[in-house]
Amino acid sequence: MQRIPFFGPLIWPVFSFLLAILVGASLLRLPFCQTEGTVSFLDCAFLATSAVCVTGLASVDIATQLSQPGHLVILLLMQVGGLGITTYTSLMFVALKKRIPLNDRLALAQGFDKEKVDIKVVIMQVIALALCIQCCAALGLYWHDPVRFHPFSAFFHAASAFCNAGFSLFSDNLIGAQSDPVVNGIIAANIILGGIGFAILREGVHYFHALLRGQPKALSRITRMIIHTNLFLIFTGGGLIWLVEFFRPGNEESVGQGATLGFIAFFQAISARTAGFNSVSMPALSEASLLILIILMLIGGSSGSCAGGLRTGTFRVLASYISAQFTGERQVLLCNRAVPQGLVTDALRLFFLYIMMVGLTVFALSLTENIFFAPQGRAEVPFFSLLFETVSALGTVGLSMDLTPLLSAPGKLLIMLNMFAGRVGFFALLLAVQSIHTRRPYDYAESSLPIG
């Protein structure tokens, strides 16, 4: 009989995230982590899931209902979830001079494009890069505004931005700084660096190091593709939001105008992939702008980063696949290279799973929030708000139409499930299920059927 590897390398990340969420929820439930002791265990579990999955959705106002120890727990959970639990567990073995287990070795290597990596070197570089970027951003925020961004607040927001979490110690998130170019710039830069991928950050460091030595070398094809895709999404998304809101009459007070509108448009285009900071109230935006944000939330950041979503590589493969269907190309071409058919199949499978998960969750939320568990006297939640909340959770973004605190208990569980699936990844979940399933040793006969 085949031995079922419940703690194999493919299942280990799932258990790791679940354990971190359970520990985080238990810590947040402690009296000294709350200001009034009124946050239920479900809300603590929701916050822990959101922090570990670096989403940023909050069912309670953490600025007022959590104490500084509670904020510290959120910060630690963001760091653990953002950089990857397997990175930290491997780091412990390195510090103790122990051999890194095969589980961590394989799970960590999945975030990089090379099959063979020096795990110890990778871990130290990732941790050093992350802390260096966060500390530089924290210093910038503190020097700019030492009152609002005191040392802990500055580092909290810097870490939240780099980990693409979107948690803020201000009740209005970053709405109070919507016209501040320094705060917008520092947070946006941290979001981009945290969502571009650790492998690309490492290559960027090596690139600038070689440039300083007078031995410049070209960036790899994949790195150039990821950078170009990110720039395209930022400028296209931000430009479209700016155009929509600029020509929409009567929104000058709620959204802003002039330079403030430009800051908001491009900041939200960056934040939607997949940080969750908001410099404007989401209900104040038009449905056209919100639809742009939904598309950006679905795409997400790059592979091997703190971001979630379909990822930029998947987006480029899908875009090239659609282009090939219109042009009649036999191969899917990307950057003058043919994409292997297996990768195209994986991209289509991932896209289908995302759309299916969104559809099922929106249907379930429409039942829980508008029929079975709707609070007495609350107006029916619009379909668009349910869709926005679902995509935000699944993409581990954190933007909300102010719906999260109003969700019923089953609704919160559904959103928690989406945050977990979005952070762990559908492929990781599928591989985990497949690894404990015994495959049949034979194939069935094929049969044709009409389609289209």
* DSSP-assigned beta bridge partners for residue 434: none
pLDDT at 355: 94
Q: Over range 9-27, report the average pLDDT.
A: 84
pLDDT at 396: 93
For residue 197, which amino acid is it? G
Residue 331 is encoded by which pair of tokens? Answer: 């191969």
Q: How far apart are CA 281 and CA 399, in angstroms?
A: 9
Termini Cα distance of the chain: 43
pLDDT at 107: 47
Q: Which residues of 107-141 are buried (b: 16+ CB within 10 A; e: fewer)?
A: bbbbbbeeeebebeebbebbbebbeebbeebbbbb
pLDDT at 67: 95
Q: Which residue has the higher pLDDT, 346 or 123?
A: 346
**How would residue 209 be classed by pLDDT, with cut points 50, 70 and 90?**
confident
- Cβ atoms of residues 156 and 75 within 8 Å: yes
pLDDT of residue 429 exceeding 80: no
Q: How far apart are CA 106 and CA 432, in angstroms?
A: 13
CA torsion through residues 426, 427, 430, 436, sign:
negative
Question: Which of 19-33, 61-75, 102-116, 308-322 is least confident?
Answer: 102-116
pLDDT at 56: 92
Average per-residue pLDDT in the chain? 86
In this predicted model, what pLDDT tens digit does every residue of 192-202 receive, in sequence order? 999 998 888 88
pLDDT of residue 21 exceeding 60: yes
**How would residue 1 be classed by pLDDT, with cut points 50, 70 and 90?**
very low
Q: How far apart are CA 217 and CA 427, in angstroms?
A: 34
For residue 419, which amino acid is it? M
In this predicted model, what pLDDT tens digit does every residue of 378-399 receive, in sequence order? 789 999 999 999 999 999 999 9
CB atoms within 10 A of CB 264: 27
Q: How far apart are CA 391 and CA 362, in angstroms?
A: 9
What does DSSP assign to residue 66?
B
Q: What is the DSSP string of 276-340?
A: ---SS-GGGS-HHHHHHHHHHHHH---TTSS--SS-HHHHHHHHHHHHHHHHT-SS-EETTEEPP
Question: Which of 254-268, 269-283, 285-299, 420-434 is least confident?
Answer: 420-434
C-alpha separations of 442 from 90, 236, 439, 445 in Å: 39, 49, 9, 10
Indicate the helix (H) or strand (E) that contains 42. helix 41-52
Residue 37 Rama label (left phi>0; alpha psi -120 to 50; beta): left
- Cβ atoms of residues 105 and 90 within 8 Å: yes
Q: Over range 262-280, report the average pLDDT.
A: 92
Record: fold of 1-110: Helix Hairpins (1.10.287)
Q: How far apart are CA 8 and CA 32, in angstroms?
A: 37
Q: How far apart are CA 275 and CA 22, in angstroms?
A: 23
Q: Which residue has the higher pLDDT, 73 or 204?
A: 73
Q: Which residue has the higher pLDDT, 298 or 124?
A: 298
Domain ranges of the chain: 1-110, 111-435
pLDDT at 441: 78
- Cβ atoms of residues 399 and 285 within 8 Å: no
Residue 225 Rama label (left phi>0; alpha psi -120 to 50; beta): alpha
Q: How far is CA 138 from the centre of its chain?
A: 21
pLDDT at 450: 82
pLDDT of residue 103 exceeding 50: no
**How would residue 435 be classed by pLDDT, with cut points 50, 70 and 90?**
low
pLDDT of residue 157 exceeding 60: yes
Q: What is the DSSP string of 119-171?
A: HHHHHHHHHHHHHHHHHHHHHHHHHH-TTTT-HHHHHHHHHHHHTT----SST
pLDDT of residue 112 exceeding 60: no
**How would residue 257 be classed by pLDDT, with cut points 50, 70 and 90?**
confident
In this predicted model, what pLDDT tens digit does every residue of 285-308 receive, in sequence order? 999 999 999 999 999 998 878 888
